[in-house]
Amino acid sequence: MDLDLTPEERAFRAEVRAFLAEHLSEDIRAGSAATPSVFVEPDIGQAWNAILHRKGWLAYQWPREHGGPGWTPVQRYLFEKECAEAGAPNLTVLGLKLVAPVLYTFGTAAQKAHYLPRILSGEDYWCQGFSEPGSGSDLASLQCRAERVTDAAGDRYILNGSKIWTTHAHWANRMFCLVRTDSSGHKNAGISFLLVDMQQKGISVRPIHTLAGDHEVNQVFLEDVEVPVSDRVGEEGDGWKLAKFLLENERGGSCHAPKLAYDLSLIATAAVEQSDGHGGYLANTVDWRRRVARARLDVEALEMIELKILSEIAHGQAPGPQTSLVKLLASNLRQEVDLLAMDLLGPAGLELDTRRPLYGPNAPPPVHSRATQVAAARYLNSRAWTIFGGTNEVQAGIIARTVLHL
């Protein structure tokens, strides 16, 4: 793995920096910095998506033949790193990075032609219907039932059941959903992958508020919801295969290290002027320096793993089970960085305003600063990192079986 950039890659990095300097507005940057939830809010995210779409960079991870710019893995990494260091918001992951690769890899020509352009334009905003009450880490035990019916009204599935922890279901008009179409065999074999229209009768969304007061996730109830068979991706019973493909992209489809490094650099800089309570500065205390150094080394180690995966992708290999290692390490580091931010701010970081949003003209005024207003909520919300996308325990089991062959 060669870590030196070519002249062409350095020129590309300069182009990205110039674009961000010109087009990443202070409003979007400030909104991203003041968002404590894990996923960027649609008003900020869709505004940034539209800017990138006009440039042709929104689908930067997609192949050229499906609407992407055709970037190399190194270019994709450089783009993510520059966006992180510029304070840009995360992209709308559920449509762009999760369901889109499933569609252009396994979807029919009609599905690709219909859905991929609508993801890019923002016409479709997606949520993910995987987890259920009682079927979280053991996803294969899901019970949301899809019965196939063929009559004068057409060939379709009738869905009944519920999904939970459904991020942004209250904003979404589409949901990609795992359902049980067969209960007669092995539980993994009877699952199918459907594309559900959220704007139809029979669907109700109940909000779930986090400890921080954010409305990010929901429970979705489906009662006699209809899905045309043409909106099934893959064959009936292929859902488990497609879900594994999607989750590998979720766990390792992006580079986490640049954002972690950026957030850590802000914390380290702020500590230079933060009192230690004993007449000195926090940045000069031995324990603080040790914690920051350990976190920085861990972030650099994660970056090397992510770069190694990118190198393998560049040589034609698909993301594999090593993405579970990325997910596990990134989740733990996200929580450690947010804990460092809380410890940096001390008692001032305990401010927990549950009014939203914390950006824009109607944002509630902070008691101390915008950073102190966001820190506790972000810390509480980041507890979810070691749960969503597969818990740390699930990731450890995958690593043991498929990477270490234990």
- 154 - beta bridge partners? 151
Q: How many other CB atoms sit within 10 Å of the CB of residue 362?
A: 8
Give the residue among 27, 61, 48 at the shortest CA–CA distance from 92: 48
Annotated catalytic residue within 216, 250, 303, 306: 250
Catalytic status, residue 8: no
Q: Which two tokens stand for residue 348?
A: 């001032």
Spell out the residues 6+ positions from residue 72 whose beta carbon is closer than 8 angstroms to its own. 314
> Which amino acid does the sequence have at 141?
S
Report helix, strand or coil for 290. Answer: helix
Taking phi over 0 as left and psi of -120 to 50 as alpha, with beta for the rest, 80 belongs to alpha
Q: Which two tokens stand for residue 187?
A: 């539980």
CA distance 6 to 16: 15
CA distance 246 to 253: 9
Report helix, strand or coil for 137. Answer: coil
Spell out the residues 6+ positions from residue 64 whose beta carbon is closer than 8 angstroms to its own. 70
Give the residue among 391, 394, 396, 356 at the shortest CA–CA distance from 373: 356
CA distance 329 to 334: 9
Do the beta carbons of residue 164 and residue 197 sit within 8 Å? no
- Catalytic residue numbers read 250
